[in-house]
């Protein structure tokens, strides 16, 4: 930050955190659990995807990155889905606090919220995992209503085969020179243009 190194870690995870307008305490808690318990590292026998950052006593570097909430409108990035700065900073600090409570506080590092940072990441593999918080659960009564509406729509749809599909499914006469000589779409060499 500003030409000065303010944070670094050895082996571990670099977490780029994009905070959405819709994120709540529930999503925060889910992400903390996932980040600390994801089995991304090998065990003592070399078996891949066996150990978590906590199992290995590795470090975690967190960087707030609102650009992960980007939606492209043509070629222009739009960040309206990112949580506003003041609210996001509070959320981010709460995220760090929860990580430190759930793990070893001295192993949780971070950048500087809202600052222009040069982040150097050396991927081991490379391995990059995208985590999304779970979608909001739908009320079972509402889900049933939606399912019933969908079923009604499906029942009211009528399937009338098109002319071309009727022709394709009609039995072909061997003596017809325009008949296909094989699989659907295979045109006989005897066929005239």
SS3 71: strand
Tokens representing residue 100 in the block: 């430190």
Nearest to 69 by CA among 17, 133, 136, 111: 17
Tokens representing residue 3 in the block: 């030409």
137 has catalytic annotation: no
**HSE toward the beta carbon, residue 88, CA cutoff 13 A:** 21
Q: Which of 24, 67, 85, 144 is catalytic?
A: 67
Nearest to 114 by CA among 80, 82, 66: 66
CA dihedral 92, 93, 96, 98 (to 10 degrees): -100
Return the active site residues.
Answer: 67
């Amino acid at each position: 930050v500003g030409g000065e190194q303010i944070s670094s870690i050895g082996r571990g995870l670099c977490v780029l955190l994009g905070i959405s307008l819709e994120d709540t305490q529930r999503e925060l808690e889910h992400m903390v659990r996932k980040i600390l318990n994801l089995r991304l590292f090998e065990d003592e026998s070399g078996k891949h995807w066996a150990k978590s950052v906590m199992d290995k006593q590795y470090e975690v570097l967190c960087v707030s990155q609102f650009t992960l909430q980007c939606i492209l409108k043509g070629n222009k990035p739009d960040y309206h889905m990112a949580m506003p700065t003041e609210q996001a900073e509070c959320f981010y600090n709460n995220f760090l606090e929860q990580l430190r409570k759930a793990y070893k506080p001295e192993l949780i590092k971070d950048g500087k919220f809202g600052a222009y940072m040069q982040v150097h990441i050396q991927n081991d593999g490379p391995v990059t995992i995208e985590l999304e918080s779970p979608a909001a659960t739908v009320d079972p009564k509402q889900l049933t209503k939606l399912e019933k509406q969908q079923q009604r729509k499906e029942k009211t749809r009528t399937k009338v085969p098109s002319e071309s599909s009727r022709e394709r499914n009609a039995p072909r006469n061997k003596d017809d020179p325009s008949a296909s000589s094989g699989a659907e779409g295979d045109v006989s060499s005897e066929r005239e243009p």
